[in-house]
Chains A and B, each alone.
Chain A
Amino acid sequence: MPETEIDIKYVAELARLELNDSDAAKLQRELGQIVNYIAELGELDVSGVEPTAHASLLTNVVREDVRKPSFDRSEMLKNAPGVVDDNLVKVPQVLPGEGSN
C-alpha cells in the first residue's frame, strides 16, 4: 500500500504545536505508517451500523441548575504562570493595538 501523505505542518497548525523541521519530518513519516495501518478499517462494510460514541450505559444526565460555592480564587491562582492585581490571570496580548509590541 502506498504511504499516506500527511501535511504535517498543516495538522500541527491546527493543533497549535510548534515543531522544528527535523521533528516534522520524523512525525510525518511515523504518522504516515500509522495512518496506513488504521486505514485497514476501510475494508469493513459498516453500512447500517450505528456509531458508538461512549461505552456508558447512560443517556442524558441532568442536574438542578443551582449556584454553589466554587474553588477559592486565590488558591486557583497559585497555579497560574502570571497573575495581575492578585486576582486575575495575566495573559499575553490577544489583539494588536495600543501597547502592543
Chain B
Amino acid sequence: MDLSEKNRQTLLGLAGDLKAKKISSVELVNECFKKIDERDNTVKAFLSVDREAALKAAEEADKRRAEGKSLSDFDGIPVGIKDNIAVRGETLSCASKLLKPVVSPYDATAVARLRDKGIIPFGRLNMDEFAMGSSCENSAFQKTCNPCDTERVPGGSSGGSAAAVAAGLVPATLGSDTGGSIRQPAAFCGTVGLKPTYGRISRYGLVAFASSLDQISPLSNSVTDAAALLDIMAGVDRMDSTSLDAAAPNALASALSGAASGSLKGVRIGLPEEYFASGLSSGVDKVMQNSIELAKSMGAELVKVSLPHTKYAVAVYYIVATAEASANLARFDGIRYGDRKEGRDLIDTYFKSRGAGFGDEVKRRILLGTYVLSSGYYDAYYLRAQKVRTLIRKDFEEAYKQCDILLTPVTPNAAFKFGEKSDPLQMYLSDIFTIALNLSGDCGVSVPGGKDEATGMPVGVQFLAPALGEAKLLGAAAAFEAALK
C-alpha cells in the first residue's frame, strides 16, 4: 500500500492492509512524513509534527502486531490532532501567540481513548485562533490553503484538520465544532466531517471556546471512518460532567450496513424550506437538487418541513458563543502559563498580555461577549438569546415528528478566496446552515455531495438527526456516500 498513490486512504482500508501485512505502521507513518514533505510546504495544514514520537509509537504498534497483541484493528494508524485538543507533551497553542509556549501535561479524554486502541496522535493542526473563524485566516502562525485550490481557504476553524485529510497527509484527523467548525471545512475541502450530539464525546482536554456548544469530533475520508472514530471516543467521562452516560452509539455497524445496502428505503428525509429559500449559490443549489433526487431514487420518502426560527440562529449564536467565550478566555492572562507581557502591576500585566497575545477576531468576540453580558444589556441580549435558543430547539423537535433525518446545504457557497470576506458580519452570516445544530445540541454530518460547477470546488451536503441519533444519521449518510460513488 502506498498512501501517496492511493492518496486518500480510509482507516478501514488501512486496518485491512495492516492486518494482511501489506504495510507496517512504520511504513505508514513514513508515508505520512513523505506526503507532508511533498505537499505541506504549500498546504500548511500542520503547525508541527513530532516525528520521533510518531515513529516510536509506530514501532511499538508493529511490535504488538507481530506478537498478536494489537490493541485494535486500528493499532498503529496515525490521526492528526487540532491544536486546541490536548496531547501530552505536545504544544497546545490554539494557534494563538498567547499560548505559543504552552506544552500540554495531559491527554484529552478523546485522545486517550484513541491511544487505548493504538491510534497514534499525529502532529498539531492549524486552526483559526481559539477556534474563532470560518477560514483559518485567523491563525496567528500561518495560512492553511485549500488543497483543491491553494488560492482558496480551507474553511474553519478546523481548516488544518480538513486540509490534512483532503491532501492525503493523514488518513483522518480530530477537530472541534462549535458552530460548524468541522462541517464547514469538511465541505470546503471535500471530506467527511461529523458533529456528534452534545455530550457524546468528552470535552476534557478541549480548550473551551463556548462550553454549551463545543464538541470534539473526527474528519475523515469516509462516513464509516467517522463512525469508527466516534464509537472509539464516545461515552461518559468523569472529567466532563456534561458527557452523556448513554448507550454506545454503535455507529460503525450502522454505517457499514448503510454503505453495503446503498438504500434509504423507509427513511423519511425532511427538507427544511428555510435552508433552500434564498442565498444559495447556483453551484450549491445544483448539488442539493441532485442530492435530493439521489435520495429519492434510493427509496427515501421526502418530506417538506419548516424550521421557522432559522433566520435568528446567527444572532443567537453570536450572542451565546461570544458570551461564553468572554468568560472562558478570561483565564488567559499570562500569569500561570502562556506569553506574559510584564506591566506596571498585576492588572496592567493582564491588559498587556491579553492585548498583545490575542488576535483581532478573538478580541472582537471577547468584547462582544463582554458587552452582551454587561450590566444593563444582559436581559436584552444574553437572556433573550437563550430564550430564542429554546425556540430553535423546539423547531427541530417539531420537524423530527415528521421525518427521521434532515438534508440541508452546509454552506451557501463553495470555498472562497483568501481575503474575500473581510467584513466580520458577512463572515458570521455564512455560518447560517451549521450553527443551529450546535444550539439544538443534536448531531449532524457533512458529506461530499459534488462539485461547484463554476469553480470545480467541492460542495458538501449535511444530514442532521435528533440527539443520540448517530447510528441512524451515519447509516443514512454512508448509504448516500455509497450511492454517489
Contact = CB atoms under 8 A, between A and B. Distances in A.
A55 B238 contact: no
Q: Which 3 A-B pairs have the closest CB atoms?
A: A55-B441, A18-B355, A51-B386
Given A58-B241, A61-B242, 16 more contacts: A11-B370, A12-B367, A15-B370, A16-B350, A18-B352, A27-B363, A27-B367, A34-B425, A38-B315, A38-B372, A41-B315, A71-B105, A75-B105, A91-B335, A92-B348, A100-B345
A63 B371 contact: no
B212 A54 contact: yes
Nearest to A55: B441
At the interface, is chain A mostly helix, strand, loop or mixed? loop
Contacts of A40: 312, 315
Given A15-B370, A41-B315, A71 B106 contact: yes
Contact of B312 (A41, A49, A82, A94): A41
- Chain B CB within 10 Å — which of A46, A55, A82, A89 has the most? A55
Interface of B: 101-103, 105-106, 198-199, 212-213, 238, 241-242, 244, 309, 312, 314-316, 318-319, 326, 330, 333-340, 342-343, 345-352, 354-356, 358, 360, 363-364, 366-368, 370-372, 374, 380-381, 383-391, 393, 424-425, 428, 438-441, 467-468
A46 B388 contact: yes
A79 B438 CA distance: 32
A79 B364 contact: no
A56 B442 CA distance: 10
A38 B102 contact: no
B103 A79 contact: yes
- Chain A CB within 10 Å — which of B339, B347, B370 has the most? B370
A81 B339 contact: yes
B338 A81 contact: yes
A15 B326 contact: yes
Interface in A43-60: 44, 46, 49-58
A81 B335 CA distance: 7
A38 B381 contact: yes
A2 interface: no
Contacts of A27: 363-364, 367
A24 to B, nearest CB: 10
A25 interface: no
A52 B214 CA distance: 15
Interface of A: 6, 8, 11-12, 14-19, 23, 27, 30-31, 33-35, 37-38, 40-42, 44, 46, 49-58, 61, 63, 71-72, 75-76, 78-82, 89, 91-94, 96, 100
Nearest to B244: A57
B371 to A, nearest CB: 5
A91 B314 CA distance: 40
A88 to B, nearest CB: 11
Given A18-B351, A37-B315, A55-B441, A49 B390 contact: yes
Contacts of B387: 46, 49-52
A71 B360 CA distance: 34
- Chain B CB within 10 Å — which of A18, A72, A82, A91 has the most? A18
Contacts, number: 175
B105 A52 contact: no
A11 B371 contact: yes
Contact of B336 (A12, A56, A71, A79): A79
A56 B241 CA distance: 10
Nearest to A19: B355
Contacts of A15: 326, 354, 366-367, 370
Contact of A34 (B318, B354, B383, B391): B318
Nearest to A64: B238
A37 to B, nearest CB: 6
A76 B441 CA distance: 34
Contacts of A31: 364, 367-368, 371
A52 B364 contact: no
Contacts of A34: 318, 368, 424-425, 428
A80 B105 CA distance: 12
8 contacts: A31-B367, A34-B318, A34-B368, A41-B385, A44-B309, A56-B244, A79-B338, A81-B338
A81 B337 contact: yes
Given A51-B389, A79-B102, A16 B333 contact: yes
A50 B390 CA distance: 7
Contact of A55 (B103, B345, B354, B439): B439
B371 A80 contact: no
Given A8-B367, A35-B368, A56 B199 contact: yes
A78 B101 CA distance: 10
B346 A94 contact: yes
Contacts of B238: 63
A99 to B, nearest CB: 12
B425 to A, nearest CB: 5
Contacts of B326: 15
B383 A93 contact: no
Nearest to B369: A15
Contact of A16 (B212, B351, B360, B390): B351
Contact of A58 (B244, B342, B383): B244
B234 to A, nearest CB: 14
A11 B383 CA distance: 19
